[in-house]
């Protein structure tokens, strides 16, 4: 196959060089020597990956990325920071290398999107016109989603679901806690960022408690009856931490219905739990700009076309990463990165009036339950009936009965994955 | 498939011209691989680099993962999501990207 294509490519370049305009295939912008302008909002795993891929796929494209923070703090592996096993600095990445690829970066907040006029408004009132817009705003906390929990409460009962100061706050609280204290984690109903995250966090906090404060206890109050990699986590808890970790499912009354930060209590339908340290992982929704752009539906998330990631609500706007409704794909950094590259290819192709081919996407989520004990869930996805669906027979979790060296190898691969994906996106 | 590949190639070069455009011709699934398999040798990971590797070697490894003949950690589960033709296309594409190996 490749031989034929190479020949065709040479022929085509030759023709183009001889004066037959490439614009015969495409839109007026191309004829003017510009391939078009794409604005990307959000500089996380989705947005930064997309901006870089857009520029790589078509260097003539003008790509502007809008991101409020000059330093990105990665959520994957931040549970290791909470457990004292990693420095927050190792989670931080800048955008200098992304800028070197030709992506323009506007370090500010996007405050509005006019989908009709194809225009983004920034915090200082300036506007950016676009031919296509990519939103990768991640998640926002639903501050009205759990009675008693608001921004002030988060300073006492940290969510630590956006890495940074919240991560360090939870770590400091654990360090200050007396041996014998009760740590309570509240885990939300689906969907939310990083489905295995609350359970990885529980594992690593248990590791910290076991090694530093062995008389302590950890309770997970859950708004679900099933969760990601459940058997693997539960087996590991029993094997590594004995009775230290208690999981209370939805049907056992685990759903937290209100919190009281002054009393340090979390209330469920059946009882009230007093915590020495409370980690409230609250309900979430797509980042606010998605709502402002009209790309979020009543669920708070953004339905998308599974081939192009174009919004089903707002033509010309694409949504990738945690904010999107990506069917079977979980809200993970790996998913966001994979989606961003497929979306970038689709955007470049659509700007040239081409038809994007049907993609395949992969996700792999590593969870570390102890420093030498990693577990994974993987999936392969294709567009099916308007959603990204699992390809039957592929994917699944690590084996339940794997030996210790398999778990150790997955822990090493987890580390390698973090190095690889952050090098691709920010390196 | 060859017809679509032809048009994909034409589109790729219509967009890219003679600039250093890179990656738009990736076959289905290939763009996900670099989440774990680094282009740069300076990245520390047990996952092997696949950029510039012999296509037949990649195909052989993936088919062995897919059939269960080779034990894997993650790749046994991932390879099962691709047809043999898709695996060959991905392998050829990565093999041809020698210049991306750093």
Residues 6+ positions from B69 with CB-CB distance below 8 Å: none
| B11 within a domain of the structure (yes/no) | no
B43–A416 CB contact, under 8 Å = yes
B68 burial type by CB count under 10 A (0-12 exposed, 13-18 middle, 19+ buried): exposed
Strand A119-122's sheet: what is its strand order? A110-114, A119-122, A127-129
Residue range A42-59: mean pLDDT, rounded? 98
Nearest to B45 among A5, A358, A419 (CB): A419
| B67 within a domain of the structure (yes/no) | yes
Question: With contacts defined as CB-CB under 8 Å, which chain B residues touch A17?
Answer: 18
Report residue B30 as tokens: 């290939």
Nearest to B22 among A12, A56, A391 (CB): A56
Report residue A62: phi and psi, to 5°: -90, 120
B81–A393 CB contact, under 8 Å = yes
Domain range for B75 = 28-100
CATH number at residue B79: 1.10.760.10
Query: 10-residue block means of pLDDT along chain B (102 residues)?
Result: 55 56 93 96 96 97 97 96 98 88 60
Q: How far is B78 from chain A (nearest CA, A)?
A: 6
| B69 within a domain of the structure (yes/no) | yes
| B18 within a domain of the structure (yes/no) | no
The count of structural domains within chain B is 1
Q: pLDDT at position A19, please?
A: 34
A35 pLDDT tier (thresholds 50, 70, 90): confident
How far apart are alpha carbons B21 and B9 in whole angstroms? 12
| B50 within a domain of the structure (yes/no) | yes
Nearest CA in chain A to B80: A394
Interface predicted TM-score (ipTM): 0.89
| B62 within a domain of the structure (yes/no) | yes
Q: pLDDT at position A15, please?
A: 34
pLDDT tens digits, one per residue of A206-263: 999 999 999 999 999 999 999 999 999 999 999 999 999 999 999 999 999 999 999 9
| B19 within a domain of the structure (yes/no) | no
- CB count within 10 Å of CB A369 equals 29
Nearest to B21 among A57, A337, A412 (CB): A57
A16 pLDDT tier (thresholds 50, 70, 90): very low
CATH of domain A143-282+365-421: 3.50.50.60
A348–B15 CB contact, under 8 Å = yes
CA distances from A258 to A144, A250, A251, A270, A294 (A): 11, 15, 17, 12, 30
B29–A416 CB contact, under 8 Å = no
pLDDT tens digits, one per residue of A362-410: 999 999 999 999 999 999 999 999 999 999 999 999 999 999 999 999 9
Chain B, residues 35-64, CB within 8 A of chain A, namely 35-40, 42-47
CATH of domain A33-68+108-140+285-355: 3.50.50.60
Q: How far is A3 from chain B (nearest CA, A)?
A: 11
| B22 within a domain of the structure (yes/no) | no
Residues of chain A within CATH 3.50.50.60 domain(s) are: 33-68+108-140+285-355, 143-282+365-421
Name the pTM for this structure: 0.91
Nearest CA in chain A to B24: A57
């Amino acid at each position: 196959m490749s031989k034929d294509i190479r020949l065709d490519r040479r022929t085509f370049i030759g023709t183009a060089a001889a004066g037959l305009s490439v614009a015969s295939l495409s839109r007026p912008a191309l004829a003017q020597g510009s391939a078009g302008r794409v604005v990307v909002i959000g500089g996380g795993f989705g947005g930064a990956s997309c901006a870089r891929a857009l520029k790589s796929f078509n260097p003539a494209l003008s790509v502007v990325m809008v991101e409020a923070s000059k330093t990105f703090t990665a959520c994957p592996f931040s549970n290791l920071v909470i457990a004292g096993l990693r420095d927050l600095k190792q989670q931080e990445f800048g955008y200098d290398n992304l800028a070197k690829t030709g992506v323009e970066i506007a370090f500010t907040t996007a405050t509005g999107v006019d989908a009709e006029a194809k225009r983004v408004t920034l915090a200082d009132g300036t506007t950016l016109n676009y031919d296509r817009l990519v939103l990768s705003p991640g998640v926002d906390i639903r501050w009205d989603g759990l009675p008693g929990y608001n921004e002030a409460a988060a300073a006492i009962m940290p969510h630590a679901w956006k890495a940074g100061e919240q991560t360090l706050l939870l770590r400091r609280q654990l360090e200050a806690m007396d041996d014998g204290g009760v740590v309570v984690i509240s885990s939300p109903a689906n969907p939310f960022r990083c489905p295995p995250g609350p359970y990885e966090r529980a594992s690593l906090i248990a590791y910290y408690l076991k090694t530093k404060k062995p008389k302590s206890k950890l309770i997970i109050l859950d708004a679900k009856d099933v969760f990601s990699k459940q058997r693997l986590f539960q087996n590991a808890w029993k094997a590594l931490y004995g009775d230290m970790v208690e999981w209370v499912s939805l049907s056992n009354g685990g759903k937290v219905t209100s919190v009281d930060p002054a009393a340090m209590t979390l209330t469920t339908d059946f009882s009230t739990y007093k915590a020495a340290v409370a980690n409230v992982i609250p309900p979430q929704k797509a980042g606010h700009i998605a709502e402002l752009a009209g790309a979020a539906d009543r669920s708070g998330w953004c339905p998308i076309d599974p081939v192009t990631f174009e919004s089903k609500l707002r033509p010309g706007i694409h949504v990738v990463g945690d904010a999107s409704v990506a069917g079977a794909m979980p809200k993970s950094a790996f998913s966001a990165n994979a989606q961003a590259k497929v979306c970038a290819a689709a955007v470049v192709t659509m700007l040239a009036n081409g038809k994007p081919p049907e993609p395949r996407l992969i996700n792999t989520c590593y969870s570390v339950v102890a420093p030498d004990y990693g577990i994974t869930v993987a999936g392969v996805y294709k567009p099916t009936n308007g959603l990204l669906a699992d390809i039957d027979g592929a994917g699944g979790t690590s084996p339940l009965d794997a030996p210790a060296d398999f778990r150790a190898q997955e822990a090493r691969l987890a580390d390698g994955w973090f190095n690889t994906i952050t090098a691709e996106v920010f390196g | 498939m060859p017809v679509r590949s032809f048009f994909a190639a034409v589109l790729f070069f219509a967009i890219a011209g003679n600039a250093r455009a890179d990656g738009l011709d990736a076959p289905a699934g290939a763009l996900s691989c670099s989440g774990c398999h680094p282009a740069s040798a300076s990245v520390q990971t047990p996952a092997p680099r696949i950029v510039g590797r012999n296509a037949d070697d990649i195909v052989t490894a993936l088919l062995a993962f897919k059939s269960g003949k080779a034990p894997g950690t993650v790749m046994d589960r991932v390879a099962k999501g691709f047809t043999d033709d898709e695996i060959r296309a991905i392998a050829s594409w990565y093999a041809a990207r020698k210049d991306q190996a750093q």
